[in-house]
Amino acid sequence: MSTSKPVVLITGSNQGLGYYTAQQLAAAGKYHVLLTSRALSKAQSAIDAIVADSSIPNKAEDFTPIELDITSDSSIASAVSAVESKFGKLDVLINNAGIASAKEASGKELRELYQWHYETNVFSAACATDAFLPLLKKGEDKRICFVSSGLGSCTWHAEGQYAGSYLVYRSTKSALNMIMVHYAQTLQGEGFVIGGSDPGYCATNLNDHAGFLDPREGAKQIIKSTFGAKEDVHSVVTGSGGKEPF
């Protein structure tokens, strides 16, 4: 399989923000979207649902389902191999997959809760990025976006914003921001544009749909943060108000 369009892979894109990001990107007609899920059948079902949604016209040929569990090194390796064999490159990586849960809701002890969140939100995002780098270096766009959150801003927390909420989750986003900056600084000489995106508090499974923003709007911000001008998005986290403090 080959395509003349830039190839975009979105982790955790069978639902929520990743789903709507995939839907909107493919609808633009400029990209071929690799929609991923831990189960290939769920990725295909998400593609079928997107194509069946007449509110935003999409074509099935603009998608490829990819099985990817970012918490599994073997799954990441298999996904890299699949992308390489089908396309020989990757132009854009959007690290969207993540989890969030309060201690009371998770039923986990504090140490286990931290390990669970960091394994998915930080370690796995870093490992997936590193594994896909050789293919990204073969791509033309060379863009990477880490889906972050305003909750990860130490500056805002010190100012009393969002005080007391989701400590474990927000600390993973602070860590993810550091990883983003690391890649942005080390790879900018190779033509990469790398940044973070704060999509806002969107109603998704991540928060039991408690968010007050439509995830479709959050997806628009992810796309803006991913494909914006380098001077606006590189090595920073951007949200609806522009650049955000770390």
**3-state helix/strand/coil string of 24-91:** HHHHCCCCEEEEEECCHHHHHHHHHHHHHCCCCCCCHHHEEEEECCCCCHHHHHHHHHHHHHHHCCCC
Cα-to-chain-centroid distance, residue 101: 18
Rounded to whole angstroms, the Cα distance separating 72 from 76 reads 6
Q: Who wins on pLDDT, 2 or 189?
A: 189
Rounded to whole angstroms, the Cα distance separating 208 from 105 reads 11
Rounded to whole angstroms, the Cα distance separating 6 from 155 reads 36
Least confident of 113-122, 174-183, 208-217: 208-217
Q: Where are the alpha helices (DSSP H) in the chain?
A: 16-27, 40-52, 73-87, 103-106, 110-118, 124-138, 154-158, 167-187, 215-227, 230-233
Q: What is the average pLDDT value for the chain, to the nearest integer?
A: 95
The CATH code of domain 7-244 reads 3.40.50.720
Whether the Cβ atoms of residue 118 and residue 71 lie closer than 8 Å to each other = no
pLDDT interval class at 223 (50, 70, 90): very high
- Residue 71 phi, psi dihedral angles, 5° rounding: -85, 0
Cα-to-chain-centroid distance, residue 226: 10
pLDDT at 211: 77
Handedness of CA 104, 218, 147, 24 (dihedral sign): positive
| pLDDT one-digit tens code per residue, 61-100 | 999 999 999 999 999 999 999 999 999 999 999 999 999 9
Say whether pLDDT at 134 is over 70. Answer: yes
Say whether pLDDT at 105 is over 80. Answer: no
Rounded to whole angstroms, the Cα distance separating 99 from 174 reads 14
pLDDT at 35: 98
Rounded to whole angstroms, the Cα distance separating 21 from 11 reads 11
Residue 224 designated active-site:
no
Q: Domain spans of the chain?
A: 7-244
The catalytically annotated residue of 42, 169, 220, 230 is: 169
pLDDT at 28: 97
Least confident of 102-106, 118-122, 161-165: 102-106
pLDDT interval class at 165 (50, 70, 90): confident
The catalytically annotated residue of 173, 183, 224, 243 is: 173
| pLDDT one-digit tens code per residue, 109-130 | 999 999 999 999 999 999 999 9
pLDDT at 210: 77
pLDDT at 74: 98
pLDDT at 104: 61
Rounded to whole angstroms, the Cα distance separating 84 from 79 reads 9
If you ran DSSP here, which 8-state letter would residue 206 be given? G
Average pLDDT over residues 3-7: 95
| pLDDT one-digit tens code per residue, 184-202 | 999 999 999 999 999 998 8
Rounded to whole angstroms, the Cα distance separating 244 from 7 reads 28
pLDDT at 103: 67
Residue 173 designated active-site:
yes
